[in-house]
Structure 1
């Protein structure tokens, strides 16, 4: 409940206040001493997602997220390239797998990237593409189905083949996605991945590269706005399954900061589909942003990774709780049958953030009572306490009946 609430920083003392605890030590104990198992909670969460999906395939997006951290006391923190910051800095990085289903995001798996210099006894060094490959294997073994896998250039590059130089760019980490691409091929998965402009492709030298004519298409964004983009195919190689594309916002100037090179393996895909499918990668950026800004992904004050791992798993669980209220995941989401929508501040949108705002409205009586409760210990106002209690019971009873009908978890508030 603290993660979902609208407090800006999800620190344990602040969470304790809004959930009605006298101090934050029980929450700290829950992260540091309580014996609950992260892998078991993850397994239950993923199995629940499979139950909700009912065999429907998803778009899988692989990316990583990093957070600046001072010093080197936190496990696996070092000076390294942090993609979402676009620079090298001191911090911790995790590889993440998010799913997209008809425009709704929900997280699946995360795994910390362990720098070679910070390995602990029993650790094995893995590159980020190797971590991503392991994550896909795990998801596949559980029964997840993917109709498309999206990733950036770190995962899209390969060492094989002869050089097809498109433009000169730098790879900040110099890592290869060979193992990652092999896993996708082993599972016969369709993919669209970014590549560097000096990507090594099969078959031809730089002087033999050919281009198709530019085609304009409408890039549709998550807020349903659109923008003109241009795409053309790069005829480079003799493998009919693998195709290469150049996408830009301006076909005349071709600005470097808004021009992308893409490799696809997707039978009979059209240029417009390439542009819009690859654009789905922005959904994971949206998901990572919400995890950080709204749910407190980076707000932990812990140095031991097993404890950080618990924090991150709680964030993923909170994110899923919000996603479960969407029409995309449930044919008839709980809010569609409730009286909550008569609240004058109720958000009628169906995006993830719209749903989060509505859940926060449902949380409001509980949170506000916990914040005002210390004053009621100073001044006795019986009717105020009774009014809050009655309002919370009304919300609880409505929430319980709706959520039990849909067989999904629900928030239960008690400040009595």
Structure 2
């Protein structure tokens, strides 16, 4: 709050913002204005509603503070920005940007809003650092009355999702965020303009594309489908690499890469599931020569944004809002992202402290607890800001107990996964 307090000109919205953030971090089941007002001890939801709709403060300025906070607390030289979208299923037609459209949240076409997000992932943590609400062209951009009712400014024009993604990437670069790589899913990898802008900026990318994507092999005149290229590869072209550690151990896949284009910095990367044989494809470009392992690492980082969405919705109420106004949406989303970044920063700090402590004797039978996670930290923080039914020592006892059992379960999964791996 000390970091963002200067963004609020009056004490009332500043106090409401603090109460709102505490509510997002609390055990409150639904984190909307009514529930958060009750959690804060207010007699009515008016202060929370004014914070989101009428109070004078700039959500984009708070977003800038959030981005700087994230980079400061868990940024490293190897940080990777990730672009993706998530849906917010809604009822009615008054919410800004709502229409019947496909959303991966529901896995089908639903009446929903779609937000395009930028995450920042490093070895120390990951968090959402920027957001844009997608405004459909036909149903919204050309309807002045509907725009006015939802509080959408006249100067807000239609922008494709890849265009919104580039705006966020460019803003992060302008703010000094170091980004040697960018990654994203097919909706963004298929857009040639986004890829061209990244190349112009000297930013490498590993972007997922469809199997029908056509590429030129060995400077051939006729482009070939990516899945056709994969089918022609010899067995020796595939190498086993881990795309990073998951909840149950390293995520091993078979990988192949093929030079495409006229220079040595452009590749088609192919991932093959070692159990099902399912293929995934990525277009890659880098300003310098890279290894297959580096491309695999960046491809694996892309899933971090899905973890961010899961944590933001499950822990800090990213999708719990009940607002229709354009400004209110951006304000709630920004505060939820800030709450998530706070939890991630605490997790990064406790991980650093844990590495600095001496290891217990090898003869100890009890496994070391897992590192503090975002859900565990929110659980402890929520308990500490509410009148505790248990002592702090009791809370920490149960935290250690849970994390020890999580560590034992993870060890069991890793051991089973290692036993299933064929010998090198």
Shorter-chain TM-score bucket reads: 0.7 to 0.9
Q: Secondary structure at the match of 2:303?
A: helix
Distance in 2, matches of 1:65 and 1:14, equals 24
Q: Secondary structure at the match of 1:211?
A: coil
Q: 1:360 aligns with which of 349, 359, 379?
A: 379
Conservation of the 8 A alpha-carbon contact between 1:211 and 1:234: no
Q: Assess, with a 3 A threshold, how the Cα gap between structure 1 residues 57 and 329 changes in structure 2: closer, same or farther.
A: farther
1:70: Cα distance to partner? Answer: 1.5
Q: Show CA shifts across 1:145-203 (max 9, x none).
A: 1122111112112xxxxxxxxxxxxxxxxxxx122111211111111110111113244
Distance in 1, matches of 2:272 and 2:208, equals 13
RMSD: 3.0
Query: Which deviates the most, 132-141 or 25-34?
Result: 25-34
Any stretches of 5+ residues in structure 2 without a counterpart? 1-21, 142-146, 148-153, 358-367, 393-424
1:330: Cα distance to partner? Answer: 8.7
Q: 2:281 aligns with which of 245, 250, 261?
A: 261
Distance in 1, matches of 2:292 and 2:76, equals 28
1:320: Cα distance to partner? Answer: 1.0
Q: Secondary structure at the match of 2:128?
A: strand
Partner of 1:230: 254
Partner of 2:265: 241
1:328: Cα distance to partner? Answer: 6.4
Q: Assess, with a 3 A threshold, how the Cα gap between structure 1 residues 51 and 282 changes in structure 2: closer, same or farther.
A: closer
Conservation of the 8 A alpha-carbon contact between 1:19 and 1:366: no
1:47: Cα distance to partner? Answer: 3.2
1:179 and 2:193 correspond: yes
Distance in 2, matches of 1:211 and 1:233, equals 10
Q: Secondary structure at the match of 1:126?
A: coil
1:304 and 2:325 correspond: yes
Q: Secondary structure at the match of 2:316?
A: coil
Q: Secondary structure at the match of 2:252?
A: strand
1:312: Cα distance to partner? Answer: 0.3
Conservation of the 8 A alpha-carbon contact between 1:61 and 1:97: yes
When normalised by structure 2's length, the TM-score is 0.72
1:31 and 2:52 correspond: yes
Q: 1:277 aligns with which of 285, 293, 298?
A: 298
Q: Show CA shifts across 1:54-86 (max 9, x none).
A: 774511111111111112111110112223433
Q: Assess, with a 3 A threshold, how the Cα gap between structure 1 residues 51 and 246 changes in structure 2: closer, same or farther.
A: closer
Partner of 1:129: 162
Q: Assess, with a 3 A threshold, how the Cα gap between structure 1 residues 132 and 215 changes in structure 2: closer, same or farther.
A: same
Conservation of the 8 A alpha-carbon contact between 1:114 and 1:125: yes
Distance in 2, matches of 1:297 and 1:274, equals 31
Partner of 1:168: none
Q: Secondary structure at the match of 1:247?
A: strand
Residue correspondence of structure 1 range 155-234 to structure 2 within 5 A: 155-157=188-190, 177-202=191-216, 203-204=219-220, 205=222, 206=224, 209=229, 211=233, 213-223=237-247, 225-234=249-258
1:112 and 2:133 correspond: yes
Q: Assess, with a 3 A threshold, how the Cα gap between structure 1 residues 86 and 236 changes in structure 2: closer, same or farther.
A: farther
Partner of 2:29: 8
Distance in 2, matches of 1:114 and 1:94, equals 9
Q: Show CA shifts across 1:267-287 (max 9, x none).
A: 443334433321211111000
1:4: Cα distance to partner? Answer: 1.1
Conservation of the 8 A alpha-carbon contact between 2:259 and 2:266: no
Partner of 1:161: none
Query: Which deviates the most, 125-134 or 220-229?
Result: 220-229
Q: Show CA shifts across 1:95-128 (max 9, x none).
A: 1000111051112100111100212333211111
Residue correspondence of structure 1 range 38-57 to structure 2 within 5 A: 38-52=59-73, 56-57=77-78
Q: Show CA shifts across 1:9-55 (max 9, x none).
A: 21222222333223322211211221111122122222334444677
